[in-house]
Structure 1
Amino acid sequence: MNMKNVLLPAFYMPPISWFSVFLDAENEIIFEQFEHFPKQTYRNRANIYGANGKLSLIIPMNHNGKREMKDIEISYTEDWRTLHWKSIKTAYQSSPYFEYYEDKFRKIFDLKEKFLLDFNLKGLEVIQQVLKTEKAHSLNEEYIKNPDGINLREKFSAKHPSEFEMDEYYQTFSDKLGFQKDLSVLDLICNKGPESLAYIKKVKQS
């Protein structure tokens, strides 16, 4: 198998499309840690499906004047962890699998990392445990504007519709509000449980 180097941004409870790239057996994953932190992206936000539709959970930043992703600090001035966890519980407690994974997911919100990058990577560890995957990854060593391999730093937009094709699956509120595509992988896991991994592997980039 020819491995491809893929440069990925490190996200907070990433969307399904991100996981389809991350878990692709042909992709050698390198996380970008030296980029200038771009605002309004999945680096510090995750979309879930609430009772009124798509809901963005946003991690507040501690503005320390530093710009590189690895130096971005999380603000704990407000208790956003309790808030995010409450939103997730409210959104998914009636989904088929939430109860089954609740204790594992809860661990993400017990983390109190200083840096966003560390928080995202530890959160990813929890999600990998849930998915029963052990995908290896590394961090890049410097910022390269046009890196060798596949550069997906700007690929996943929190502002535009997803460019990935995925089948509809039953979501807790889809009867009322229709299918919401490419939410956080949490949405998929709470609704599809052990079938989530097979689903992720079928997701294609359009």
Structure 2
Amino acid sequence: MSQKIVIEPHYLGSLEYFVALINAEEVILEAQDHFVKQTYRNRCYIHSPSGKQSLTVPVSYDNRTRMKDVRIDYSQSWLRDHWGAFYSAYGKAPFFDFFAEEFQAVWNSKPEFLLDLDIEMMTLCLRLLQIDMPLRLTDDFHSSTEKGALDLRNRILPKISFDQRDLYIPFPYIQNFGSNFVANLSIVDLLMCEGPGAQAVLRNSTIKHERL
């Protein structure tokens, strides 16, 4: 890819999402568009003992709320639920003891806004991947991106399989449960299972292009 991309923030983004990030020269995060429900902005998928499990952050918004203004709803027990699911899924994973407290610290800090939670988790994951990637937020909304930037906004969606896009190809690694590999889970699955080897898996999961 090796170019500037514009993309919306995701909550503990998928491997496909992080493949897009690590192959860009610069990442611009769309913070000014209207919040769209049933997207990765406030959900992720992990590998639980019972299979693929969705984790969703409850939010408060209306049809006019911009992403930067979406507040997290702490009246619901999602923090306890997410940590419980996280522990159940990865408590015995090889790198849980190395990384878990850092994720827990972000959750426990209780960011008011979804954008802040997404960026804090994204920044943490990039650091654990040992990738130095500058992140920049949009100042205003534009339907088209600046010249030379690849527009990936609203392209990576839960309802559309990754194989319908041209970014990510599964590169299997040993997961915590079962013998059948589950592709394109949250980056936390890869980090907990592979630790320092996670970046290499992402590199091997990249579909090669001359230029997207």
Alignment correspondent of 1:83: 81
Separation in 2 of the partners of 1:105 and 1:72?
Answer: 21
Q: Deviations over 1:25-69 (max 9, x none)?
A: x43110001111111111000100011111010000123664211
Of 124, 136, 139 in structure 2, the residue corresponding to residue 138 of structure 1 is 136
Q: 1:65 to 1:9 in 2, by over 3 A?
A: closer
Alignment correspondent of 2:178: 174
3-state SS, counterpart of residue 184 of structure 2: coil
Cα RMSD (Å): 1.8
3-state SS, counterpart of residue 175 of structure 2: coil
Separation in 2 of the partners of 1:27 and 1:8?
Answer: 13
Using structure 1 for the length normalisation, give the TM-score: 0.91
3-state SS, counterpart of residue 204 of structure 1: coil
After TM superposition, the runs of 4+ consecutive aligned structure 1 residues lying more than 4 A away are: none
Alignment correspondent of 2:107: 109
Q: 1:65 to 1:151 in 2, by over 3 A?
A: closer
Correspondence 1:175-194 to 2 at 5 A: 175=179, 178-194=180-196
Correspondence 1:14-163 to 2 at 5 A: 14-24=13-23, 26-63=24-61, 66-148=64-146, 149-163=149-163
Range with greater deviation from structure 2 (6-15 or 103-112): 103-112
- Whether contact under 8 Å (2:26, 2:133) holds in the other structure is no
Query: Which stretches in structure 2 are left out of the alignment for 5+ residues?
Result: none
- Whether contact under 8 Å (1:64, 1:73) holds in the other structure is no
Which amino acid is 1:23 matched to? I
Which amino acid is 1:72 matched to? V
Aligned length: 202
Separation in 2 of the partners of 1:20 and 1:174?
Answer: 24
Which amino acid is 2:102 matched to? K
Residue identity over aligned pairs, in percent, reads 27
Q: Deviations over 1:59-101 (max 9, x none)?
A: 0012366421111111001121121011000011122211221
- Whether contact under 8 Å (1:29, 1:137) holds in the other structure is yes
3-state SS, counterpart of residue 170 of structure 1: coil
Range with greater deviation from structure 2 (7-16 or 148-157): 148-157
State the 1:182 CA deviation.
0.6
